[in-house]
Structure 1
Amino acid sequence: MLLVQLSDVHVSNGFRRDMLEQAIDEVNSLAPDVVVVTGDITDNGILQEYERARAYVNMLKCKNIIMLAGNHDYRNTGYLLFKRFFAPKQVYEDDQCIIATLSTARPDRDEGEVGYRQNLWLFNTLTDASKDGKVKIIAMHHHLIPIPDTGSDRIIVLDAGDVLQTALEAGVNLVLCGHKHRPWIWQLGSLIIAYAGTVSSERMRGFFKNSYNIIDVHRDRVEITLKVVGGESMSLKDIVKAREVVMEG
């Protein structure tokens, strides 16, 4: 299965429209099975931004598009508009994988939270015996573990420890996050946590190009490629290696 992760679009008066349009063309040429947009689709959560964002999403030629809200989307009562413009899909499943989505955004708060009931739902959903043998993926907006080169970390998932425990106990293979505008990857045993950069915002951290993730899902492995919009592709793991070289130098 081919999956594309776009994140932190930040549609507004000042976002990089040319980058988003080029990224959409590139994604359409890949013909992915699923596109996951991990939040911050708008910058201020207002009606005009949602209208523009909906038009861009409609340009994606993929029948399975999973939309998640970010903290910016919930500003100014934007949480009401998110449900109006996008039908949230809690679970996507095919014969190869299951993708469970977590809503971490809260109205007029920058930090994220999953909550006991949603975490319990996640555990029950992913530990169902019928899911055994499938690649298990969680998609969320906020970052689950802090990332280098992103400054002091006060905007967190308040109950990240509980979510991590659920992911490990449920045998999750991959967690997809956005929020920090910084592509990165952590690996905890068999669990991979992959972060997408921003596809079209000018606000970048540690990696100064607009980008998105291309994820090739096999039953026995997951391959994640970082794609610079209009530019090169590289393994997401190479981002970590490149930073290590710079720090050692």
Structure 2
Amino acid sequence: MSCLLHISDTHFGTEQPEVVVALLALARDHAPDLLVLSGDVTQRARRRQFRAARDFLDIVPALATMVLPGNHDIPLFNLAARIFAPYRNYQEVLAVPLEPEFESDELLVLGVNSTRPRRHTVGEVSAAQVTRVADRLRQARMGQLRIVVAHQPVRAIRDSDTKNLLRGHEAAVRAWSEAGADLILGGHVHLPHLRPLKEVFPDLPRQVWSVLAGTAVSSRVRDDIPNSVNLIRYSARETIPCCTIERWDYGAPGRFLLAHRQLLALQRP
């Protein structure tokens, strides 16, 4: 069985040390095969904030890590850096690609850089990115759980968050569904959710699930929802393809506690 720990919006620079310790303990307890950090690694894209994130990633108990940029990982106030070298600190300190990929016997996880330096918070996916990911999904091996990761969400559950939806997500969801995606992971809105995308795209050729992680370790929580992360479990040995999504919330006594668990039946192309 494979285990994926999905976190988002760490916003290093506003991290809470006790929550960081609790997250490390959660990772130690569950020994994930992969940690996915779906953007907004830092609060203001400063080198010291990326170094704090690097220190965390170096000690997190996971066999592999996969990190994507969020809008906060591009300089906001340093306009010259934003225009001419928007990802310099990100790439020099973290030393990771902007669109990473992870593959194992049971997992295929594809990263999409949805940030755009010319924008402030709005994310976008291009036609070329949609095609690249769809082509790669079609190459998935039998039995792999097929996951796409972007920072901005493809589904909003509150009207106030529709402005935060990934630009171009309609075409992306349809193309990735047809190509075999099971889950689309994200963050950005600091609200965890698990929703079937056929509720808003009833013409999808197959079901795909939107999975958002909440605020991982930052003090920038929203609407009294505590710091929150996801654990995703999957085994290719099951007779009926399925995976389990678990939401873990930070709470007393200084630990992440299981808040919700849902078993998802998966459709194969």
- Short-chain TM bin: 0.7 to 0.9
Find the partner of 1:146 among 136, 156, 164: 156
Q: Which amino acid in 1 is paired with 2:225?
A: F
Match of 2:257 in 1: 232
CA contact (8 A) 1:38 1:67 kept: yes
Any idea what the Cα deviations from partners look like across 1:166-195, whole Å, max 9, x if unmatched? 121112111111111101111135311111
Task: Tell me the CA shift for residue 132 of structure 1.
Answer: 4.0
Q: In the aligned structure 1, how far is the partner of 2:163 from the partner of 2:171?
A: 18
Q: In the aligned structure 2, how far is the partner of 1:193 from the partner of 1:155?
A: 14
Match of 1:215 in 2: 232
Aligned to 2:71, the other structure's residue is in SS state coil
Match of 1:106 in 2: 116
Q: In the aligned structure 2, how far is the partner of 1:109 from the partner of 1:6?
A: 22
Q: In the aligned structure 2, how far is the partner of 1:160 from the partner of 1:183?
A: 19
Match of 1:137 in 2: 147
RMSD in angstroms over aligned alpha carbons?
Answer: 2.0
Q: In the aligned structure 1, how far is the partner of 2:207 from the partner of 2:102?
A: 21
Any idea what the Cα deviations from partners look like across 1:2-38, whole Å, max 9, x if unmatched? 00001110111x4322212221122122111111011
Question: Once the two structures are aligned, what percentage of the paired residues are identical?
Answer: 23
Q: TM-score, normalised by structure 2?
A: 0.81
Relative to structure 1, the CA distance from residue 151 to residue 56 in structure 2 (aligned partners, 3 Å threshold; closer, same or farther) is same
Task: Tell me the CA shift for residue 152 of structure 1.
Answer: 4.7
- Bigger mean CA offset, 221-230 vs 84-93: 84-93
Q: In the aligned structure 2, how far is the partner of 1:190 from the partner of 1:92?
A: 22
Q: In the aligned structure 2, how far is the partner of 1:136 from the partner of 1:70?
A: 22
Relative to structure 1, the CA distance from residue 44 to residue 184 in structure 2 (aligned partners, 3 Å threshold; closer, same or farther) is same
Q: TM-score, normalised by structure 1?
A: 0.87
Any idea what the Cα deviations from partners look like across 1:85-138, whole Å, max 9, x if unmatched? 22126221111121111111122521001111111101111112x534422111
Once the two structures are superposed, the pairs formed by residues 1-249 of structure 1 within 5 Å of their partners are 1-12=2-13, 14-76=14-76, 77=82, 78-86=86-94, 87-88=96-97, 90-107=100-117, 108-128=119-139, 131-148=141-158, 151-187=160-196, 188=198, 190-206=207-223, 208-219=225-236, 220-229=241-250, 230-235=255-260
Length, aligned pairs only: 235
Q: Which amino acid in 2 is paired with 1:144?
A: V
Task: Tell me the CA shift for residue 74 of structure 1.
Answer: 1.4
Any idea what the Cα deviations from partners look like across 1:23-56, whole Å, max 9, x if unmatched? 1122122111111011111000011111111111
Q: Unmatched 5+ residue regions in structure 1?
A: 239-249
Task: Tell me the CA shift for residue 231 of structure 1.
Answer: 4.0
Match of 1:244 in 2: none
Task: Tell me the CA shift for residue 207 of structure 1.
Answer: 5.2
Q: Unmatched 5+ residue regions in structure 2?
A: 77-81, 199-205, 264-269
Q: Which amino acid in 2 is paired with 1:103?
A: N
Q: In the aligned structure 2, how far is the partner of 1:98 from the partner of 1:215?
A: 13
Relative to structure 1, the CA distance from residue 236 to residue 185 in structure 2 (aligned partners, 3 Å threshold; closer, same or farther) is farther
CA contact (8 A) 1:182 1:207 kept: no
Q: In the aligned structure 2, how far is the partner of 1:15 from the partner of 1:2?
A: 25
Q: In the aligned structure 2, how far is the partner of 1:196 from the partner of 1:174?
A: 13
Task: Tell me the CA shift for residue 234 of structure 1.
Answer: 2.7
- Bigger mean CA offset, 206-215 vs 171-180: 206-215
Q: In the aligned structure 2, how far is the partner of 1:231 from the partner of 1:18?
A: 11
Q: In the aligned structure 1, how far is the partner of 2:173 from the partner of 2:52?
A: 35
Q: Which amino acid in 1 is paired with 2:230?
A: N
